[in-house]
Chain A
Amino acid sequence: MQGDDLDALRESLLADVRRIHAGKLKVPHGKRLDYLKGELAKIADVIIRDACETILLTTEETVLAENLPSRVTHDTSPLGILREAIRAVPAVRYALGVAGIVAAIAIVSLFRIDLRVAGFGIIVMLVFMAVLVLFARLATASDRSFAQAGRFFLWSSLVLFTSVAALLVTSIFFSWPRDLGPWLGIVQLKGNTEKKLPSPQPSGTTPSPPAQNTRDEPAVITADPIRIDFATRNRGQRSGCSCNPDNEVVFPNGPYSVKANEEFVFRYDASPMCFGQGFDRFQGSVSWGASSTTLKNNNGSDNPGIAGAMKVKISNPGGYNAIVNIVVDCLDINCRNTCRAKGNTEIQVK
């Protein structure tokens, strides 16, 4: 077929397809097959008749008929020129891929996502596209060496994917090998309950106000550690690493009577627990009931240690019990001893 012949054939074919398709829609459903047979039989050119039959009997015939070009012309729009170029030189189809990526960037900018994120996403997308191409080639590969390499890659990818998926599940639900709970906004609360934080909280603080609080469960809105603003009970050092029998956590300004949603300073003191000696392996927490605040060692930071102060705000009125638990290793030269201190105080919130 020469170019002009082909254009003429296409013109004729399109005219027949449109005519028969339009006529078919006017014919009752039960008579459409006979109509098609009759109309196709009228077409003298065997090639046009065959092509017409193919198009009209294709499942998506309606779509095809509607999408067929109304006439065979050379579209001068950028997309039309690109389509013509692809038809002439199939390798140009990759330009369409590039245009697709540019379009994707435009769409991403509409989503108001950082373009750096989009850029990184495109790189990852390209990697996955390469993997897809490899898989597609594998499905039809006749070259044995390529098929073997592809199969190896396929199984490696499968193992990698399932391993990562399994580790992600254990990381999220069992905090192993990495604790991804905080990353997802899920935190571990006292009593093995997990609740989602509504907003970022200060380091070491894990208050978790439930949506519907009861009077027994204070909603601690904030528990921000501040610099110690009181004289602790620590009265000098004593050698050794024994635990002080005075292992009670006291609350210098407790018990507390405060107003709901009003900040107050919560102070606690377990400073004598090591007889003034050094300590490490500090573990401490304040339980407010439904939520808790993790305490941190006071080495250089503003976070409280075995004695400290925090600005606390509670949203729900009621009478509550705050419990402080501290465990440390008291130290001396060549000596280490695990010691505990505990105390509780009442908080009346009006």
Chain B
Amino acid sequence: MSPESQLAERVRRAFLGSRQELPEFTFSHLLQEVGPTEPDELALVLAQLTLTKFLEKIIRVESPESHGGIGDFHSLAEIPKEIRDWRSDRMIEVGPENLTVIFRPGPGALRHAG
């Protein structure tokens, strides 16, 4: 088994072995969970797993004040320039610092688990 396959397997195990019903991991969390690995290598493996629908990638817009999620999008292109922060009840200009990448099991993983 190649190191990439081993890494992909560790990512799969992280999602399937989680006790949460619908586990969500940020990229940083996954780095810790499946490490040791390089960020670029993990990012490539995650991209492949997203392409094969094992994972679903979400770009979450977070409130600049409470850091709670205020909107989920599937790609950067979908994200509007401005969005209403319902947590603080005001419009905010979205910047890269308000975005967090989240991975959760996609249809492929749910089939595997089921």
A-to-B contact residues, CB < 8 Å? 1-3, 6, 9-10, 13-14, 17, 24, 29-30, 32-34, 36-37, 40-41, 46-48, 50-61, 64, 67-69, 83, 86-88, 90, 93, 96, 140-142
Contact = CB atoms under 8 A, between A and B. Distances in A.
Given A57-B100, A58-B101, A140-B18, A33 B95 contact: yes
A61 B39 CA distance: 10
Given A55-B39, A88-B3, A47 B47 contact: yes
Contact of B39 (A6, A50, A68, A96): A68
Given A29-B95, A47-B48, A53 B101 contact: yes
Q: Mostly helix, strand, loop or mixed at chain A's interface? A: helix
B79 interface: yes
Contacts, number: 116
State the 10 A-B residue pairs at the shortest beta-carbon distance, nearest first.
A51-B43, A50-B47, A51-B47, A47-B47, A58-B27, A54-B43, A51-B44, A57-B99, A57-B101, A86-B36
Contact of A33 (B26, B38, B81): B81
Contacts of B57: 50, 54
B101 A87 contact: no
Contacts of B94: 33
29 contacts: A1-B44, A2-B2, A3-B2, A6-B44, A24-B96, A29-B95, A32-B95, A32-B96, A34-B81, A37-B76, A41-B77, A46-B47, A47-B44, A50-B51, A50-B57, A51-B47, A53-B76, A54-B101, A55-B27, A57-B59, A58-B28, A67-B39, A68-B39, A87-B3, A88-B3, A90-B6, A140-B17, A140-B19, A141-B19
A24 B4 CA distance: 30
Contacts of B19: 140-142
Given A13-B44, A51-B44, 11 more contacts: A2-B2, A10-B44, A17-B40, A33-B94, A34-B81, A47-B48, A50-B43, A54-B27, A54-B43, A57-B99, A57-B100
Contacts of A59: 26, 28, 97, 100
Nearest to B20: A140
A34 B77 CA distance: 9
Nearest to A30: B93
A87 to B, nearest CB: 5
Contacts of A96: 36
Interface in B23-74: 26-28, 36-41, 43-44, 46-48, 50-51, 57, 59
Nearest to B50: A50
Contacts of A3: 2
Nearest to A3: B2
**Most central of A30, A61, A96 by chain B CB within 10 Å:** A61
Contacts of B2: 1-3
Contacts of A60: 28
B47 A68 contact: no
B52 to A, nearest CB: 11
Contacts of A14: 40
B77 to A, nearest CB: 6
Nearest to A147: B19
Contacts of B39: 55, 58, 64, 67-68
A29 B94 CA distance: 10
Contact of B37 (A50, A87, A140, A141): A87
Nearest to A60: B28
B28 A142 contact: no
A1 B101 contact: no
B43 A57 contact: no
A63 B94 CA distance: 21
Given A1-B4, A36-B76, A142-B17, A47 B51 contact: yes
Contact of A56 (B6, B41, B77, B96): B96
